[in-house]
């Protein structure tokens, strides 16, 4: 009977611990959005706001791989466009984004330059056309299909025009002086031939089948819905590694250990009280 009561009390404690677990998780997730640690400050400033069906400013002027000034509208008009904001000397995320995009378009029957355009714009205004040219050679060679040079573009620009373009697609980035790197989201944007935002792909994987459908929709001047993409809102930027990491599983793991520890302490205390009662002592 004593063990039945003890188990009942343990279950009650477990419920309380679970409630505490949920509270800890919620507060931690809120903390990742509102905390004032350096990591959280960077994560708040670097993010992606979806602006589906928004017209990007095609009148902006950038420099192509040869250093020639060219208006963004030169790449629009007849085909859908995949727009990527990435800086060319990025040691981490940008390379992963470009490599993932390359792998995806290699699996498509459609050809870059013939069926759609890819425009990569550096958001580091210090980068030069020489860096853009080197990137273009690398990815054109790896893609390996005829006409790649005419369809895959790597641009550089001044801070004001970069800022306008980034703002138009909801892409926020911030420079971290401690690591001398940029905190930024990872995403590509699919645009219609007239330059309206049709679809976002977040992360560093872009399934070829989904990308194909997105390009078809964009070529038909269609825009996706807000439910087409799933964004993880609770994350942090680590300025020591220059990478993003999820806090959700960390919070769950810590709270889980806390729950087990609380139950162990509860059981120990209750067993001692029961033993004292048996020996005739006071609880």
Same domain, 137 and 217: yes
pLDDT at 249: 46
Which tens digit of pLDDT belongs to each residue from 169-203?
999 999 988 888 898 999 999 999 999 999 999 99
Average predicted confidence (pLDDT) for the chain: 79
**Does 201 or 262 have the greater pLDDT score?**
201
**Does 244 or 110 have the greater pLDDT score?**
110
Same domain, 256 and 201: no
- Least confidently predicted of 54-68, 181-195, 215-229: 215-229
Specify if 236 maps to a domain.
Answer: no
Same domain, 225 and 270: no
pLDDT band at 165 (very low <50, low <70, confident <90, very high): very high
**CATH of residue 80:** 3.40.30.10
pLDDT at 163: 97
76 has a pLDDT exceeding 60:
yes
- Measured CA to CA, the distance from residue 196 to residue 58 in angstroms comes to 10
Q: Which residues pair with 112 in a beta bridge?
A: 116
Same domain, 171 and 254: no
> What mean pLDDT do residues 47-51 have?
91
pLDDT at 148: 84
Domain of residue 221, residue span? 51-230
Same domain, 85 and 130: yes
In degrees rounded to 5, what are phi and psi of residue 173? -140, 160
Q: Where are the alpha helices (DSSP H) in 152-244?
A: 159-168, 208-219
Which tens digit of pLDDT belongs to each residue from 7-34?
455 445 445 545 545 444 444 444 544 5
Same domain, 210 and 262: no
Which tens digit of pLDDT belongs to each residue from 115-140?
999 999 999 999 999 999 999 999 99
Which tens digit of pLDDT belongs to each residue from 91-111?
888 999 999 999 999 999 999
pLDDT at 265: 66
- Measured CA to CA, the distance from residue 186 to residue 204 in angstroms comes to 7
Same domain, 20 and 105: no
Same domain, 159 and 225: yes
pLDDT band at 36 (very low <50, low <70, confident <90, very high): low
Same domain, 155 and 264: no
pLDDT at 179: 81
- Total domains present in the chain: 2
Question: Which residue bears the tokens 């025009």?
Answer: 161
**Cα end-to-end span (Å), the chain:** 18
């Amino acid at each position: 009977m004593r063990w039945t009561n003890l188990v009942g009390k343990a279950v009650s404690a477990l419920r309380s611990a679970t409630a505490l677990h949920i509270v800890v998780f919620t507060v931690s997730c809120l903390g990742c959005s509102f905390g004032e640690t350096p990591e959280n400050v960077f994560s708040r400033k670097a993010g992606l706001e979806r602006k589906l069906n928004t017209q990007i400013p095609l009148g902006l002027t950038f420099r192509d791989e040869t250093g020639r000034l060219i208006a963004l509208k030169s790449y629009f008009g007849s085909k859908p466009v995949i727009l990527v904001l990435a800086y060319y000397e990025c040691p981490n995320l940008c390379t992963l984004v470009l490599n993932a995009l390359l792998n995806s378009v290699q699996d498509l029957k459609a050809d870059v330059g013939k069926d759609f355009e890819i425009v990569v714009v550096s958001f580091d205004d210090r980068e030069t056309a020489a860096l853009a040219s080197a990137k273009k050679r690398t990815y054109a060679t790896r893609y390996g299909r005829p006409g790649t040079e005419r369809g895959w573009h790597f641009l550089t620009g001044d801070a004001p025009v970069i800022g306008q373009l980034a703002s138009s697609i909801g892409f926020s980035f911030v420079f971290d002086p401690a690591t001398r790197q940029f905190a930024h989201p990872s995403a590509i944007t699919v645009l219609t031939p007239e330059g309206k935002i049709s679809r976002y792909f977040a992360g560093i994987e872009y399934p070829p089948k989904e990308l194909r459908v997105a390009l078809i929709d964009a070529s038909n001047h269609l825009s996706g819905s807000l439910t087409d993409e799933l964004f993880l809102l609770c994350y942090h930027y680590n300025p020591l590694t220059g990478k993003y990491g999820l806090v959700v599983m960390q919070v769950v793991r810590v709270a889980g250990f806390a729950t087990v520890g609380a139950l162990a302490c509860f059981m120990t205390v209750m067993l001692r009280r029961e033993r004292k009662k048996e020996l005739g002592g006071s609880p």
